[in-house]
């Protein structure tokens, strides 16, 4: 599993280099950048605002998922968010075990330990890298106590 993740990370770096123009010109001509696919586009007054998920090559980017329902308790919200992430990953042809990076946004850093109790073990034996951020005044949008986004491979 670790070898597979390293291979995916190498491909990610190569893809990013090609997309940003840091790759060799000859290499770019033989390996064109794949088309980006977007899903679940959210609009504001009929103008595209953001996509729920995006695929580029074998990478999947899942937008932040929150839990905008009662009960307003961190463990319940974490469970809802993780299930939503998993649902999006499966729709994109991936899985929780193929997640490379997760970003967690907590409404209150005091919820860190309780969030971890629900989070642990959800991504298999080799968990992804993770950043956890306590959001500034105003909190996570939509009254969610936690929001998560992720990057995975297919």
Q: pLDDT exceeding 90 applies to what percent of the chain? A: 57
Question: Cβ distance 151 to 61 under 8 Å?
Answer: yes
**What's the average model confidence in pLDDT over 64-71?**
91
Q: What is the pLDDT of residues 94-133, one digit of tens each?
A: 999 999 999 999 999 999 999 999 999 999 999 999 999 9
For residue 75, the Cα-to-chain-centroid distance in whole angstroms is 19
Separation CA 17–CA 10 (nearest Å): 11
The reported pLDDT for the residue numbered 28 is 46
Q: What are phi and psi of 76, to 5 degrees?
A: -65, -45
Give the mean pLDDT of the chain. 84
Crossing angle of the two packed helices 112-119 and 74-91, in degrees rounded to 10: 40
Q: What is the pLDDT of residues 8-33, one digit of tens each?
A: 666 665 665 555 455 544 444 566 77
- CA 142-134-111 angle, to 5 degrees, is 85
Separation CA 147–CA 103 (nearest Å): 8
Nearest in space to 127 (alpha carbons), one of 5, 3, 26 = 5
Given the candidates 3.30.420.10, 3.30.1330.40, 1.10.3720.10, 3.30.1320.10, the CATH classification of the domain at 35-153 is 3.30.1330.40
Domain residue ranges in the chain: 1-33, 35-153
Q: How many CB atoms lie within 10 A of CB 84?
A: 17
């Amino acid at each position: 599993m670790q070898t597979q993740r390293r291979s995916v990370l190498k491909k990610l770096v190569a893809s990013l280099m090609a997309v940003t123009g840091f790759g060799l010109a000859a290499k770019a001509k033989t390996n064109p950048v794949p088309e980006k696919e977007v899903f679940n586009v959210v609009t504001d007054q009929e103008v595209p605002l953001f996509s729920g998920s995006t695929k580029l090559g074998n990478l999947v980017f899942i937008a932040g998922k929150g839990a905008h329902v009662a009960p307003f308790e961190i463990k319940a919200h974490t469970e809802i968010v993780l299930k939503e992430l998993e649902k999006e990953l499966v729709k994109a042809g991936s899985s929780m075990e193929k997640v490379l990076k997760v970003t967690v946004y907590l409404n209150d850093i005091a919820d860190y330990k309780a969030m971890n109790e629900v989070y642990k073990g959800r991504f298999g034996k080799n968990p992804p890298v993770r950043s956890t951020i306590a959001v500034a005044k105003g909190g996570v949008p939509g009254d969610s106590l936690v929001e998560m986004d992720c990057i995975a491979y297919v």
